Amino acid sequence: MSDTKQIKPPLTIKLCAPRGFCAGVDRAIQIVELALEKYGRPVYVRHEIVHNKFVVDGLKAKGAVFVEELSEIPAVDAGRPVIFSAHGVPKSVPEDAEARNMFFLDATCPLVSKVHKEAQIHDRRDREVLLIGHAGHPEVIGTMGQLPAGTVALIETEEDARKFQPKSDRSLAYITQTTLSVDDTAGIVSVLQERFPDIVAPHKEDICYATTNRQEAVKHVAPDVDAMVVVGAPNSSNSQRLREVAERAGCKVAVLIQRASDIEWPDFEGARSLGLTAGASAPETLVEEIIDAFSTRFDVIVETVRTAEETISFNLPRELRDVVSTPQAATG
């Protein structure tokens, strides 16, 4: 009797490390969960706490209510906790919350808050501020909103950097969005420094450690695999940058997907090696889901490729530290 069991083709999955949640995302999600534990439901969150539908839906199920503006919160719930997302908010948002007598918790990533402070310091020192970033991204809106409207000039591309004209003879300074492509940003900075040799740079790189580490891991893996999968949301800046980095590193098939159900299987026909990573707001459970999906069609071997170690964590807001039994430490 012949063996009719189908032989699955072999596939080596090279799992990038680091990948997935960064310290800022982990802290933001924890803030929502601890607020629900301490104050009960509902807890309101202005904008997606992080850019990941799976995470947001999970928090909704626990009692979080997501709004885009504070005005959407019913008057009867004005005393309920309101949490600002990890991306940060313009100064006008906490001012509005105070005017409405709202109790709010700020889940802005501390590395984004660092950029906010840089903008304010440059302004106080009478410098014209340039922000390298993507128009419309919540982090960019929040950072530009630290200063009066029209104060910050947004630079998205090298062409923008070439065309930029200062408004006055004040000295210049630049800051950056934390989730940009390291290589793209270096190109823009190079143009600005060539045109304005005295432009003031950040004391420490604004692109966050997690963005840099995840891009470096992809650069290491992408040239050696037939395809690359980035787990993340289409509105996640750092996830989109990972896909672009993979393409530039020479990977012919580089795709961004949210869930295993999004996999376009024809893209992977004939593949014998696959790189796999996840954006900073994508949970590990989705990575495991992708591996399981490939295992149904391929004989999978998983190899972890580690290019950096991450040990950074951030303090929780004081209002929530009594909810956790183990104190939160900040090492970065």
8 Å CB contact between 111 and 312: no
46 within 8 A of 67, measured Cβ to Cβ: yes
Q: Do residues 104 and 147 lie in contact, with contact meaning Cβ atoms separated by under 8 Å? A: no
Q: Could you say which of 128, 139, 244, 289 is catalytic?
A: 139
* Strand order through the sheet with 64-67: 64-67, 43-46, 81-84, 103-106
Reply yes or no on whether 139 is catalytic. Answer: yes
Q: How many CB atoms lie within 10 A of CB 205?
A: 15
CB atoms within 10 A of CB 299: 12
Helices of type H across 40-181: 53-62, 92-99, 110-124, 138-144, 158-163
R_g of the chain computed on alpha carbons = 22
Helix (H, G, I), strand (E, B) or coil at 35: helix
> Cα angle at 67 between 319 and 52, to 5 degrees?
85
Burial call 215-248: b when 16+ CB within 10 Å, e when fewer: bbbbbbbbeebbbbbbbbbeebbbbbbbbbbbbe
Report whether 120 contacts 45 (CB < 8 A).
Answer: no
Contact, 132 vs 185, CB < 8 A? yes
Active site (catalytic) residues: 139
